[in-house]
C-alpha cells in the first residue's frame, strides 16, 4: 500500500506540473481574445468596403463600321481611390488579415510606383493599420497626393532599391511587407461566388453578373475578354 500511495502522489505531482506548463497565463488568454476580436472586426470592415465598391460601371462603346460588335469597357477607376488597383489592394488586405500576417499592432510596407500604394493605404487605414509606401524619389505629385490623401506615409528612395528597402524596413520594424507581386496569386480570388452571401472580388465574375442582370444587354455570352498587361 505504501508503494502504491507514493506512485499516486508522484503521478499527481507530475500531472500538476505539466498542466501548469501547458496552460497559457491569464493575460495571454486576454491578448489572444483581443486579437481574435480585432481580426473578426477587420474582416467584417473589409467586407463592408467590398460592398461599398459595388460594381464598377460597364460602359457600352460603339465602334464605327461594326454595328454588330458589342464592345463594353469596364471602368475600374470608379472607386474611392480612383486607382485601378483598388480591387487588388482589397484582396491583399483581406488575405493578410485572414492569414494572421497583419495583426492589430502591425505596420505595413509596400514597394509601389503609386497606384497600388494609394489603394493599399486606403484599405489598411480602414482597419486602423499604418501603411508606408516605398516610392521613387521622382514620383509624380498626383500619385504622392493620392497616397497621402488616403492616409499613407512615404519613404522615398532610388527606384532600383524600392523593393529591397520595403522588405528590409518591414523586417527591421517587425512590420509586414505586403509584396504585391510576390503575393498576388495568394490574395486574388480566382473563383466566382456562387450562392455565397459575399460576392467574389473577381472582376470577370463581376462582368458576367452585370451582363446577366442588365435587361438592356440582349446577349449574355462573352466571346472575348481583353485585359491590359502590367501592374500599375
Q: What is the pLDDT along the chain (232 residues), one digit of tens a residue?
A: 444 443 333 333 333 333 444 455 556 676 799 999 999 999 999 999 988 888 999 998 989 998 888 899 999 899 999 998 999 999 999 999 999 999 999 999 999 999 999 999 999 999 999 999 999 999 999 999 999 999 999 999 999 999 999 999 999 999 999 999 999 999 887 666 566 667 777 888 888 888 888 888 888 888 888 887 665 4
pLDDT of residue 11: 38
User: What DSSP element (H or E) covers 194?
Assistant: none
The residue among 59, 47, 171, 50 whose CA lies nearest residue 109 is 171
The residue among 122, 116, 104, 124 whose CA lies nearest residue 183 is 116
pLDDT of residue 221: 82
pLDDT of residue 69: 87
Architecture of domain 44-213 in this structure: 3-Layer(aba) Sandwich (3.40)
pLDDT of residue 159: 93
Joined grid coordinates for residue 157: 528612395
User: Exposed e or buried b for every residue in 100-122, given b needs 16+ CB within 10 A?
Assistant: eebebebbbbbbbbbbbbbbbbb
Burial class (CB in 10 A: 0-12, 13-18, 19+), 148: middle
- Does residue 134 contact residue 165 with C-beta atoms inside 8 Å? yes
- Does residue 188 contact residue 194 with C-beta atoms inside 8 Å? no
Amino acid at each position: 500500500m505504501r508503494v502504491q500511495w507514493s506512485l499516486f502522489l508522484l503521478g499527481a505531482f507530475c500531472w500538476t506540473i505539466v498542466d501548469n506548463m501547458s496552460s497559457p497565463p491569464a493575460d495571454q488568454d486576454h491578448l489572444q481574445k483581443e486579437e481574435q476580436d480585432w481580426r473578426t472586426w477587420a474582416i467584417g470592415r473589409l467586407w463592408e468596403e467590398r460592398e461599398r465598391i459595388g460594381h464598377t460601371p460597364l460602359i457600352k462603346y460603339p465602334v464605327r463600321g461594326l454595328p454588330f460588335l458589342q464592345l463594353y469597357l469596364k471602368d475600374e477607376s470608379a472607386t474611392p481611390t480612383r486607382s485601378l488597383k483598388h480591387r487588388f489592394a482589397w484582396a491583399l488586405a483581406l488575405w493578410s488579415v485572414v492569414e494572421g500576417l497583419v495583426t492589430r499592432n502591425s505596420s505595413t510596407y509596400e514597394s509601389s510606383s503609386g497606384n497600388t500604394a494609394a489603394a493599399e493605404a486606403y484599405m489598411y487605414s480602414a482597419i486602423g493599420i499604418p501603411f508606408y509606401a516605398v516610392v521613387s524619389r521622382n514620383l509624380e505629385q498626383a500619385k504622392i497626393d493620392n497616397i497621402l490623401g488616403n492616409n499613407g506615409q512615404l519613404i522615398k528612395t532610388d527606384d532600383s532599391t524600392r523593393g529591397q528597402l520595403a522588405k528590409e524596413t518591414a523586417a527591421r520594424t517587425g512590420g509586414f511587407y505586403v509584396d504585391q507581386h510576390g503575393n498576388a496569386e495568394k490574395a486574388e480570388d480566382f473563383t466566382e461566388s456562387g450562392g455565397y452571401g459575399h460576392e467574389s472580388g473577381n472582376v470577370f465574375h463581376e462582368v458576367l453578373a452585370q451582363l446577366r442582370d442588365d435587361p438592356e444587354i440582349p446577349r449574355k455570352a462573352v466571346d472575348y475578354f481583353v485585359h491590359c498587361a502590367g501592374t500599375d
